[in-house]
Chain A
Amino acid sequence: MTSPLPIDHRSPALTLRLAEEIKSIISQPWNIMEICGGQTHAIMQYGLDQLLPKKIRMIHGPGCPVCVTSLEAIENALTLANQPQVILTSFGDMLRVPGASTDLLTARSHGADIRVVYSPLEAVKIAQANPHKQVVFFAIGFETTVPAIAASIQHARRNCISNYSILPANVLVPPAMEAILDGENRLVNAFLAAGHVCAVMGFHEYLPIAEKYRCPIVVTGFEPVDLMSGILMAVSQLEEDRFEVENAYNRAVTQEGNLAAQALIKEVFEPVERKWRGIGSIPLSGLGLAAKYKDFDAVSRFRLNPTPIPESPLCLAGKVLQGLIDPPECLAFGATCTPANPLGAPMVSSEGACNAYYRYQKGS
């Protein structure tokens, strides 16, 4: 048994010292967006926003992978899951995300064979164990989940497992950042870049973005000290009128990233246009299967062809994901939309901005 703060990156003394330092250098209001839902969750969990000066507004970005998965992709998943010969496999928190008609958890209760896996390689094992079924993996997530998905496809190809396929819905961070910076009402002055995405991809992709939009980007992690260091570095740049890419997460991230993982991604996938829930279509912001691996694409294998679906007018998730409003500004927040009965995806996942607000700040 140990204390809950076993490592240095959670040191209260250090976190508080960094907060003091931020207070001492800030001269004007700044909006800082943390891209990653894991960071949103950590900020809320540790109450870091309570330690920051009022001049800093943290905007919670679109980095919750289940939140940005389009209604069309969820409907595709439901269509597949409802076919008797299909076993649909998925990461757990995707199951409760409401689609246009229902969610996967409800479909499962009606008899669809939907299984939670922790890794896509597990889905391949299920395919091997069920040769008379078609096993589809719902491929969601940012760059972090892609290497394992690519590995699952290569593994299936090498072992001639022909009853395995994926429903491609992966998304990429840099195009989303550009879309946010290109928006008409640009609010974001600086970004905290997602540490785990950068551990895979490095941060060389961010250099032209910082330069083009004169926007500081600081790569950081998920512990209080990581986040406070990242915010301090971002505020320092803003106050000094610098716009560089800096790394506050040296212990996990290098500029070039994990080259083997990147090669694997490049071999199996290629960038495609993708629709983000609440945001819309962004060019080259998703990953589709490369020509060589097209036979693993469930969309063509099952001839899926969903029509575009309008989103609920009551749910302002799109505005939340772009930082245009805070979750409590949505009329549905906490009233018709709660974690037990979510209208929109950011209320579902613990990484979603609405869910994090609801869990940690409701009534405070």
Chain B
Amino acid sequence: MDEISNHLQAFNCPVPLSQHDSILIGHGSGGILTHELIKGLFQKLLGNEFLNAGNDAAVLHAINGENLVVSTDAHIVSPLFFPGGDIGRLAVCGTVNDVAMMGARVEALTASFIIEEGFAVSDLESIVASMADACREAEVKVVAGDTKVTERGKSDGLFISTSGFGWLPSGRQIAGNLAQSGDAVIISGPVGNHGVAIVQARGNLGFTSSVQSDVAPLNGMIAGLLDAVPEVHVLRDPTRGGLATTLVEIARQSGVSIELEESQIPVDQPVRSICEMLGLDPLYMANEGKLILILPNSSADRALETLHAHKYGQGAALIGKVRENSSGKLWLRTPLGTTRVLDMLSAEMLPRIC
């Protein structure tokens, strides 16, 4: 590939980016077009001292005693723009949230872009601008990046892969295997909005609604939460598979059972209605701006108060308890007083027919 790139580079003219309204194979050549794309778009929108240094890698400075937390996530979403966000905001928030869920202070991201030949530069620019907005909000920097271009038809518009880096204060332990019997289970707001926004944005439902993706960086809210309530056992974002799948994972990891009160689980009415119409279950729909919090019951009120004070936690609710039962099962108590077991999502959710 490098050979081909060098070969191509020799024939490339130094044309300003503004003269191309779509991505060319040459934008991935490593040559002049690539440099223009980096300078004219990525550094313009995402630039900082690390990225602008133009080195092969960035150097992050550790503070004594803190541990490095690393996470990585590839983002593919169709459509690229959806109500409430786009793939750029998703790529930043998804990875920021994964690092933050460990209780770490998120410091930096890296981002790789795989772009299909012919992709509109204006779309790329709005997506990268949206990443920049999300980075400002999350107070993180993109410190390294990469761009590759595939031939037309070899990929689907744009894929973005991001890795996140953060520092974990020594002694802080937050993980999926630390839920304890008697703990309270809190969700930071209504569930299912991102999943429903995506289903709807695919555009063949024949109706529209006000549902927007909840995609948001949660590291700020988590920092405030951990200042006020350091005794948190588990933090996790219920993304793919939704609230139910994530709680089953936690129950299994911790060797406990979890019991939810169905009537306490917040679901926005349009989300509920669309799910009912399509035979989908909001408890299994993806979220991109919610967290599950498990902590000692005695701290639940303080945690709720802190969450309610943050714009991304206004709908936070206590939804269940961790039970002393090593079955690893998730139970749902219905408003009728009956109970049922919730399992992980088996496969792709498929709308049922009538």
Contact = CB atoms under 8 A, between A and B. Distances in A.
Contacts of A6: 269, 272
A4 interface: yes
A12 B337 contact: yes
B154 interface: no
A58 interface: no
A50 B334 CA distance: 11
Nearest to B329: A363
A293 interface: no
A213 interface: no
Contacts of A65: 353-354
B58 interface: no
Interface in B187-209: 190, 204-206
B263 A4 contact: yes
B351 interface: yes
Contacts, number: 111
B64 interface: no
B265 interface: yes
Interface stretch (A38-46, A175-183, A309-317): A38-46
Contact of A66 (B263, B327, B346, B353): B353
Interface residues of A, number: 52
Given A1-B315, A338-B346, A363-B329, A47 B353 contact: no
A278 to B, nearest CB: 18
Q: Which bracket fits the contact residues of B?
A: 35 or more
Contacts of B339: 47, 50, 364
B267 A339 contact: no
Contacts of B346: 338-340
Contacts of B206: 118-119, 122
Given A93-B353, A118-B204, A340-B347, A362 B341 contact: yes
A116 B343 CA distance: 25
Interface of A: 1-6, 10, 12, 15-16, 38, 44-48, 50-51, 65-66, 91-96, 105, 116-119, 122, 140-142, 144-145, 196, 224, 338-340, 349-351, 358-364
Q: Top 6 A-B pairs ranked by shortest CB distance? A: A47-B338, A92-B350, A339-B346, A91-B353, A360-B340, A92-B351
24 contacts: A2-B269, A4-B335, A5-B263, A12-B336, A16-B337, A47-B340, A50-B339, A65-B353, A91-B352, A91-B353, A93-B279, A93-B350, A96-B350, A105-B348, A142-B354, A196-B354, A339-B347, A340-B346, A351-B352, A358-B343, A359-B340, A361-B341, A362-B341, A364-B340
